């Protein structure tokens, strides 16, 4: 909580963590070309059994590499974990020699939120029950399922959906 490691300068990464519609997100700070590598998923490698254990206790940053290994990406150094899910993403995750990476699938402009598709399994497990809040789902004709566990949100702030 107290960590104020502001060693931002010197690292020329084309992204930063910022506020998104759903909390925090990963945003481009420079133009990223289509196909360009963006970031990799940092964390310790854990076995399938450990991954299942972590997930059973609510961990959401377990990235499965294959049916033996996963990466526990819960470390704060793992900035890729801030990239949110989108059903119309501008990046994709890929596996390159045992490493999970994020790559642009569109030209990304500075200020754009960097998103990728978390995959069907994660979607079914974590996103669908509360409704997808990605830009596509929030603005599309299909209303996402109503959030059930937002007890704190009931005071009538008008839907800000109108573009």
The reply to whether 132 sits near Zn ion by the rule CB under 5 A is yes
Minimum distance from residue 86 beta carbon to Zn ion (Å): 6
The minimum distance between CB 13 and Zn ion, in angstroms, equals 26
Going by C-alpha positions, the residue among 22, 21, 29, 11 that lies closest to residue 108 is 29
| Binding of residue 113 to Zn ion (CB under 5 A) | no
> Which one among 36, 87, 101, 105 touches Zn ion, defined by CB under 5 A?
87
Which two three-digit tokens encode residue 75? 């470390």
If one asks whether residue 134 binds Zn ion (CB under 5 A), the answer comes out as yes
CB of 29 to Zn ion, least distance (A): 24
Choices 18-26, 36-44, 131-139, 145-153; region in contact with Zn ion by CB under 5 A: 131-139
Binding flag, residue 65, Zn ion (CB under 5 A): no
Burial of 123 (0-12, 13-18, 19+ CB in 10 A): middle
Burial 1-37 (b: 16+ CB within 10 A, else e): eeeeeeeeeeeeebbeeeebeeeebbbbeeebeeeee
Binding site for Zn ion (CB under 5 A): 87, 132, 134, 137
């Amino acid at each position: 909580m107290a960590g104020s490691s502001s060693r931002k300068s010197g690292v020329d990464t084309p992204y930063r963590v910022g506020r998104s519609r759903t909390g925090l997100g990963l945003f481009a700070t420079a133009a990223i070309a289509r196909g360009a590598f963006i970031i990799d998923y940092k964390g310790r490698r854990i076995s399938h059994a450990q991954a299942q254990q972590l997930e059973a206790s609510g961990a959401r940053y377990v990235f499965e590499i294959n049916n033996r290994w996963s990466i526990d990406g819960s470390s704060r150094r793992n900035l890729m974990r801030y990239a949110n899910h989108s059903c119309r993403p501008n990046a994709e995750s890929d596996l390159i020699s045992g490493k999970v990476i994020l790559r642009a699938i569109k030209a990304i402009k500075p200020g754009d939120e960097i998103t990728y598709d978390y995959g069907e399994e994660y979607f079914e497990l974590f996103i669908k029950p509360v409704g997808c809040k990605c830009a596509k789902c929030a603005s599309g004709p299909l209303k996402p399922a109503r959030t059930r566990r937002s007890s704190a949100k009931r005071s009538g702030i008008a839907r800000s959906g109108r573009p």
